Structure formats: C-alpha cells, structure tokens
Amino acid sequence: MIDAALDGPADFAGRRAAARRLVAAKPAPEGVARALAGEAPGLFGAAPPPPPQAGRAAASVPRGFLDLAEVAIRHRDPERFALLYRLLWRLTHGEAGLLQVATDPEVIRAQAMAKAVRRDAHKLHAFLRFRMLETESGTRYIAWFEPDHHILEAETGFFIRRFAGMRWSILTPEASAHWDGEAVRMGPGGRRADAPAEDAQEVLWRAYYAHIFNPARLKPAAMRAEMPKKYWRNLPEAQDIARLMAEAPRRVAEMVERGATPAAARRQRAVVADVEAAMPDLFSQDPAQALAALRAEVLADRGPLAVQATQAVFGEGPIGAALLFVGEQPGDEEDIAGRPFVGPAGRMFNRALEEAGVPREEAYVTNAVKHFKFTPTGRRRLHQTPDAGDITHYRPFLRREVEIVAPRLVVSLGATALRALVGKATAISKVRGEVIRTEDGQPLFPTVHPSYLLRLPDAESKAREYARFVADLKAAWREVQ
Amino acid sequence: MELRRKLEILADAAKYDASCASSGTDKRDSRAGGIGSTEGMGICHAYAPDGRCISLLKVLLTNACVFDCAYCINRATSNVDRARFTVRELVQLTLDFYRRNYIEGLFLSSGIIRSPDYTMEQIVGVARLLREEHGFRGYIHLKTIPDADPGLLAEAGKYADRLSINVELPEEGTLRALAPEKDFAGIRRAMGRMRVRIDEAKEAKRTERRAAAPRFAPAGQSTQMIVGADASDDRAVLGTTSNLYASYGMRRVYFSAYSPIPDASRLLPPVAPPLVREHRLYQADWLLRFYGFGLEEILSGGDGGMLDLGIDPKLAWALRHRGDFPVDVNRAPRERLLRVPGLGTKTVDRLIAARRHRSIRSEDLARLRLPLAKLLPFLVTADHVPRLLDSAGLRALVAPRTGFGKPVQLALL
C-alpha cells in the first residue's frame, strides 16, 4: 500500500506530482489509496511513495486527461482520486485513446464529475449575491455561498476579473476568499451569519424580479431545472417565488375576463408625420421628374419577390447617358445597399468599364429584375435565376426606364437582360457583339454578364473571357461615338 | 414617482421581449480599471417562475410611446401607467445591480417619444455614460430605432455588444394591420445596414486592420417575432426566420408567444399564449440551423403548413420518412445520425469518436442516459435491430406519454 499525501481537497499540483511518481513506480491502481485529512483512511504521516527511478522519463499523459482531471479533482466525491488514478493507469497501459470512448463507464463517471464541478462553478458565478457593508476601511461587498464541490479557490479569478475595483469577500462553509484590490487571500470557512443579513438594493432587485415575470407563462419546472431549490435560501429574490406563482392564475384569469379595454381617452401624443417629399408627377414631361416617379413606383412594388428582399434596387446614372447597361437582378450586397452593381460582379464590371475607356458619366446601370431572388441557406443567400414570370413582372418598369433615360445604345449583360429586352428567350452566342433591336425598337448590344466571368473555374479562361468582355464594351462604346 | 414604482412599470413594459442573452461578445475585464467583465459565455443570474432566464436588467427607458401597436402593452392608446427613467437614474441602477452580481448588464429599449432620433439619442446616452464615465465592461444590448440617424447607429454599435430591431410579425400585411406606424421595409433596411457594419467590424478585427472599421456590436444582432397574434402559419414564421438568418446574419431570431396583456386592444383580445407552438418553432429552428434539415422537410412532419404540436418536429419527420431508417449507430455518417430522433449534435459527435475504438451496444446508449424508447425503433446497434418501423402503433410508442408538458397555464384560461 502506498499513500500519497495532498495539501487540500483539490490540490491538483500535488496530486499530479504524486501520480507521476506512482506511475513511475508502477503500483496497480488497487494498491493505491489517496490520503486527505478527513476523507481517506491514510493520514499525512504515511510513508511517501518511492522516488522515480533515476533516468526514467515521466509518464506521458494526454493533455485531455490533465484538463479533465484538473476539474474533476474538485469534486467532493472521495472516490475521485482513485478513479482518476485508474484512468491514468489505463491511459498509460495500452489504452491511449481511452478518453474518446464516451461509452466507457469510468470515462463517463469522470466526465460526469467534471461536468458537475463546472456546473457548480457556473452557479457560483450566477447565484452569488453580494451585500454591501460600510466598514472603517471602506466599502466591502460580502457574499455567502454554499458550493457543492471544492471550487472556491479555482473560481476567485472570475470575481477578480469582474470586480477588480471593489473590495469583496466570498464566504463558504469550507473556505473563504478575500480581495483587497491587489491580491486574493484564502481564509477559513465561515457561517451564513458572518455575511450581512440584507442590502438596501434588494428591495429594488426583488421588485424587478417580480415585474419581469410574465404570469401568463408559468413554467415552474423549467425554473427549478436551472435554479434548483437548494440555491433559493441564499437568493433574496427567491422569497417571492411562492407568492408570484400563487397569484399568477388569478392575474391571468382577470386579464382574460376583462378582455379588451377601451382605448385611452387621451392617447399618447400622435406621431408627427415627416412631411413627405412632394410626390413626383407621374405625367411630367421633365425626364428627371418622370424617372423619380418611376423610381418611387419601383420601390413601392410589392410583387412576389419583394416579400423576401430587403428593398427594390432601381437604376443609377445620368439621364441621356450614351450607354444603358441592363444586368440580371440585384445580388446580396445590392439588396442591402439599395444600389445596383456594388457587389463582386459590379466591381468587376466597373473595372472592365474603365479598361474599355467608357466614361462613367456616359453609363447608366440597371437590372431587368428589381428585387433579389434567392433561397435562404443557413447564413447565406443562394442566388436564384429569375424565371419568365419574374422577368414579365418587371418588364414594364424596365421599358419605361429605358425610354426615359433614352440612351444611344442599350447593352444587355447576360441572358435575363437579353430576354427582358427582346421579349423572348434568345441565345447570347448567336447575337453577341451585334447591334440588334429591343422589342421597342431601340438599338441593343448583347454581351455576357460579369458574374459569368466570376464563375469560370480556371485562370486562363477567366483572363480570355475577361478580355473578350472588355472588347465588347469597347465595341459598344465605338457604336455611340 | 419613486424609483421602485418606475422600475416596476418599466420592467412590466419590457417583459414581453424574450431575449435576455449575454453571450457571444468579446472578452474583457476590469483589472485595468472600470467595472465588469464578459467572458464569452452568458450567465443567467436568476430564473423567474415563467422559466425564463434573467441575465440582464431588461427595462424600457420610457413606456410612453406614440406608436399604436395592437399587441403591445405600451401602445399609444393603452391605459397603463407611464414612467420614464432619467439617464443618470438608470445608469446608477445598472451599476448598483451589477456590483451585487444580480446581472450581466443592461438590455435597454424604449417607447418612441417625440422622434426616432430623439429616442435613439436617449438610449445611446445611457450606454455612453456607462461606458465612458463609469468604465462599465459588462454586457449592453440596445434596441435600435429603424429610422434613427446613421451617426447615432454608429455610436450605439460602438457601446453595445448586441443591437436588435424586432420584426414583430412574420408577414407584412399583418404588421400593417396591427402596427400601423411600423414600416416593414424600413425595418429590413435597418437590419441590412446593421449587418454591413457588423461584418465590416468583424472583418477589420480578423485582418488586424483595426483602424479600418470601428467597433460595432461584436455580439451581432437579433430580432423577435410574435407568434399567435396574427393568422400566419408555421411555414410563414419559419420562412421569414430562415430569411432573417440568411439575409442579415442574425445571431438569434426569438419567438414570443402572444401573451395576454393587462390592457388589451380590441384588435387583439387576450388569449392563452401558444406556448407549445412557440416551443415547436424553436425546435424546428434548431433543426434548420444545426441539423441540416430544409424548411419543407420539417414542415412535412406536420400538416397544412403547421408543425405537429404533439411530438417534436424531428420525430414527426422521422415517423413520416420511415424509409430513411433504420440508421446504424456504428456505421452511419454524421448527417444521418443527426436525423435520428433523440440524438443531439453533441451526442452524435461523442458516439462517432467512441465507435472508432469499440462498437456501440444498446447498453452503452443507456449509460449515456439517452432516451432509448425513442431511439431504438430507429437505430441499429451492435446488439439491436429495430423491428417496429412499419408498425402502425409506432407513434404511440415513441410519443411522450403526456404530450408536451400539458401546460398548467393553458388549463387556467
């Protein structure tokens, strides 16, 4: 029999050193008892274990075990030492992967211990209540708490980080911790009566607790699962629980019985409506007025795609621009910003436009479909190609937009824009780079959509297609010179 | 009015907001000055008998409001007592509660008074004073007002850990009917603006170009939808929820069962809150986000666009897709195990780790305290093959015997 003396109930460092000596000495787990005053039969006077043999490397233990053991050793169960030692023995005797075996009874037990300790610590952080005490040396905050396990010393860090500027003491039956703003001092255990019996703020705190409670949602089991009754006697607000629960049914019944009540005779002051900007004149001959009116109409559109989208995105650019570019639909970034061509494809388009030498003030950009069509997938929105119905819905808007802007040439980017402008599905490859006519008879120059370039898999075809796109933009620009 | 009465009125005014989260923000503490800390994980400092966590001091700055939303206790035509904290009063109360370890911080909202900008300025003022003057390092959640000035929004994001705007109702039409002053599209646009700023701040932090974008709500944004105040079905609720997660990067979409209020509007007489429905919606939301289910798959477990109230949505789905079972606990890939009723994400990961070392038997599942009655009809283990998958009585066998909780409060009404 080998005894290993430890400093305190959660003396992890001491236990670790002893365990290393023990594993090196190779006693089987059955031959080892842990010594701790008041917990195990062996006492401090017992013979220390033999020192490790010279030259022998300390046993290599997986990091996961140390993390587990450091927490589990704070458990109050006297068996914890023997259990952890058995795990250590098995880990170093052919079961290196043992901790991954979540179904192993000893692993389950050790993990349950660690979990109980962590929960105890979490409840300490949550349910500890300080009471303020004015002393000769200044204000001190004092709390009484009854933890289930040996956690106080390990958890003082939490309170130091949170309340570094306060002077505080935490008293428990087993030990106490005192912070003076510089260092923490551990002291002996205390009694409940050692802490102040009340605090002036508790009246307000209890009032808050009572009024944040919704009596129509009584779920006492859910409350007790997270805040077990054993904590109640040290929680000032808990003394109101019984009354709140008892009163709840009557309060709800009264609300229901009363039903709707008449509106207050004097309502709160009515909203001062912002003075609406003068409504644009729908029939104006002035193109700027007409475009503003059309924009307002598009923004107010509540068609099928509007339900999901953030907002409609209208075109941008000068009236009378030489070139009017029509894309497919706003994407994720355009939907949020409310502006066309600001996403990845828009940025590529702008670069190409610059390389082609098209002056920005000669370009008006818009989309065939004015709302972003997508499928929500987790934290992303998956672009959906607009169908014939979507295109049809927005066509009247697009046709009027083109008419008012009155460009010298319309450039369609991609299949959706082409379809919206010529009124039927048309293959881009057959008409790309030619000047054809829109359904309304305007000259139309079809090319690809910049997002097509973004989707190309290899750098070589990307470069080739990008160059071709820039050449198309140059050709379109030449058409209007 | 004395402070205690104000606190009572303004807590009453705030209790229908479900959110009380204090998690997910950056780590900070007071060792270099100030007071407070946040360490990533939220802390619930108390639980009320409604089972809800009390983590933050959740109050309105004032419950005076010029909006007349039918579902809201604070609407303009309600007869409730009105109160208003001064900025300093609320700052002091927050600090007093915090020092005694009652709370993680403050969740501040307000009725709309005078104008959106004026209201937002008051809310931001409280946060500014807490952070700048008192070095408060605890958690702050601010409600933002959709039409407020961008400068105020930027300042709110600088001080707050989390920002939120409530969508209130799943559909535009009913929002117009029940909350005439609220602007559905305006709320969406405001959420979009917040997403952009949150993303920029996160990106700047990640790439160490800290100067590029200022701090902005490191715990992101959340929102709340009232369930049961209008006729929207679960398809509409979950559809809108999925959209909100995907479009605006919401950390959480909260559901709040429409609950009787002391002074109800004629448009919305008091009824029992649909708590079971709320619970099922949360379960469905979890399946959508963490279990790889699609919206239509989840709805296929119920009927007519509503979830099955009697059993959880994963079990409901499994009972209608028995051809996808049994699943072998020792062989199936993770995504298939996640679809087994009674297996959660953590358990699945532990089982996958364990089965690399030894094969899993039914007694192992019992030792892990898993619900065997629910699991075993769908799961093959080393010593068990399910036999009842085609049985007409399977539902009765796996459904919880009493149904969900038989909520006491339903019987009361």
* pLDDT at position A36 over 60: no
Which of B101, B188, B408 should we substitute to test contact with A (largest number of A Cβ atoms within 10 Å)? B101
Q: Which residues of chain B have pLDDT under 50?
A: 403-413
The residue out of B228, B252, B271 marking a domain boundary is: B271
What pLDDT, on a 0 to 100 scale, did the predictor assign at position B210?
54
In a domain, B282, yes or no: no
Does residue B292 belong to any structural domain of this protein?
A: no
Q: Is the pLDDT of residue A3 over 50?
A: no
Q: Which band of pLDDT confidence, cut at 50, 70 and 90, is reported for residue A59?
A: low
> In the prediction, which pLDDT does B263 show?
87
pLDDT for B40: 87
B285 within domain boundaries = no
Same domain, B58 and B184: yes
* DSSP code of residue B131: I
Asked if residue B367 is part of any domain, the answer here is yes
- CA proximity to A205, closest of B38, B103, B127, B18: B103
User: Which residues make beta-bridge pairs with A433?
Assistant: none
The alpha carbon of A391 is separated from its chain's Cα centroid by a whole number of angstroms, namely 37
pLDDT of residue A265: 79
Q: What gap in Å lies between CA A139 and CA A192, rounded to an integer?
A: 20
pLDDT at A19: 60
Contact list in B for residue A249 (CB cut-off 8 A) is: 409, 412
Which pLDDT score, from 0 to 100, does residue A448 have? 97
Round to the nearest angstrom and report the end-to-end CA distance of chain B.
Answer: 34
Q: Two tokens at A286?
A: 């002035």
Residues B33 and B119 in one domain: yes
Token readout for A318 is: 């000068």
Mean pLDDT check: name the lowest of A17-21, A187-191, B280-284.
Answer: A17-21
User: Distance (Å) from the C-alpha of residue B158 to the closest C-alpha of chain A?
Assistant: 21
Reported confidence tier of residue A15, pLDDT bands at 50, 70, 90? low
Q: Does B3 touch chain A (CB under 8 A)?
A: yes
Contact B413, A253 (CB under 8 A): yes
The yes-or-no verdict on residue A219 having pLDDT over 60 is yes
Q: Are residues B255 and B349 in the same domain?
A: no
Residues B140 and B232 in one domain: yes
The B139-143 sheet, strands edge to edge: B56-60, B105-109, B139-143, B162-164, B221-227, B252-257
What beta strand segments (E) does A316-437 contain?
323-327, 363-367, 374-377, 380-383, 409-413, 436-437
Beta-bridge partner residues of B224: B254
In a domain, B291, yes or no: no
Q: What confidence score (pLDDT) does residue A213 get?
A: 97
Would an 8 Å CB–CB cutoff place B48 in contact with chain A?
yes
Within 8 A of A258 by CB-CB distance, chain B residues are 264, 270
Do B208 and B315 belong to one domain? Answer: no
Residues in chain B: 413
- Give me the pLDDT at residue A106, please: 96
Q: At what angle do helices B275-290 and B234-248 cross, to 10 degrees?
A: 40
Task: Determine how β-strand B162-164 pairs with β-strand B139-143.
Answer: parallel
Which pLDDT belongs to residue A43?
31
Residue A262 pLDDT class (50, 70, 90 cuts):
confident
The two beta strands, A175-179 and A374-377, are: unpaired
Say whether B247 and A125 touch across the interface (CB within 8 A): no
pLDDT of residue B203: 87
Question: Mind listing the pLDDT tens digit for each residue in A308-327?
Answer: 999 999 999 999 999 999 99
Q: Is there a single domain that holds both residue B311 and residue B162?
A: no
In this structure, the answer to whether residues B130 and B55 fall within a common structural domain is yes
Which region, left, alpha or beta, applies to residue A114 given φ > 0 means left and ψ of -120 to 50 means alpha? alpha
Half-sphere exposure for A223 (CA within 13 Å, toward CB): 23
Q: For residue B276, is it within any domain? A: no
3-state secondary structure of A380: strand
Same domain, B266 and B308: no
Domain that holds residue B399: 299-408
Asked if pLDDT for residue A474 goes beyond 90, the answer is yes
Q: Which of A207, A429, A249, A410 is nearest to A326 (CA)?
A: A410
**Residue A422 pLDDT level (bands cut at 50, 70, 90):** very high
**Residue ranges of domains in chain A, CATH in brackets:** 2-122 (no CATH), 128-194 (no CATH), 202-251 (no CATH), 287-479 (3.40.470.10)
The mean per-residue pLDDT over the stretch A246-275 comes to: 80
Contact, A320 vs A405, CB < 8 A? Answer: yes
Q: Is the pLDDT of residue A18 over 90?
A: no
B236 lies in the same domain as B314: no
Kindly report the pTM of this predicted structure.
Answer: 0.91
Residue with tokens 């909202």, as numbered in its chain = B109
For residues B224 and B253, the answer to whether their CB atoms sit within 8 Å is: yes
- Tell me which residue of B91, B161, B158 sits closest to B122, measured CA to CA: B91
Chain A residues with CB-CB distance to B115 below 8 A: 272
Q: How many domains does chain B have?
A: 2
Q: How far apart are CA A279 and CA A282, in angstroms?
A: 9
B167 and B232: one domain? yes
Q: Strand, coil or helix: what is A383?
A: strand
Note the Cα A474 to chain centre separation in Å.
46
Minimal C-alpha gap between A301 and chain B (Å) = 11
Q: Say if the Cβ atoms of A207 and B242 lie within 8 Å.
A: no
C-alpha distances in Å from residue A121, one per residue of A74, A117, A154, A165, B194: 10, 6, 9, 22, 36
Helices B87-99 + B116-128 axis angle, to 10? 40
**H or E stretch including A429?**
helix A428-431
CA distance A179 to chain B (A): 12
- Residue B401: CB atoms within 10 A of its CB come to 6
Are B223 and B336 within one domain? no
pLDDT at A95 over 80: yes
Q: Which residue of B has its CA nearest to A139?
A: B99
Q: Could you tell me how many residues make up chain A?
A: 481
Mean pLDDT of chain B: 93
Q: What is the pLDDT of residues A364-373, one digit of tens each?
A: 999 999 999 9
Which residues does residue A35 pair with via DSSP β-bridges, in sequence order? A5
CATH number, domain containing residue B207: 3.20.20
Q: Return the pLDDT at A13.
A: 66
Q: Are residues B368 and B241 in the same domain?
A: no
Q: Which chain B residue has its CA at the smallest distance from A255's CA?
A: B262
Interchain CB distance below 8 Å, B257 and A105:
no
Dihedral angle of Cα B311, B317, B319, B324, to the nearest 10 degrees: -150
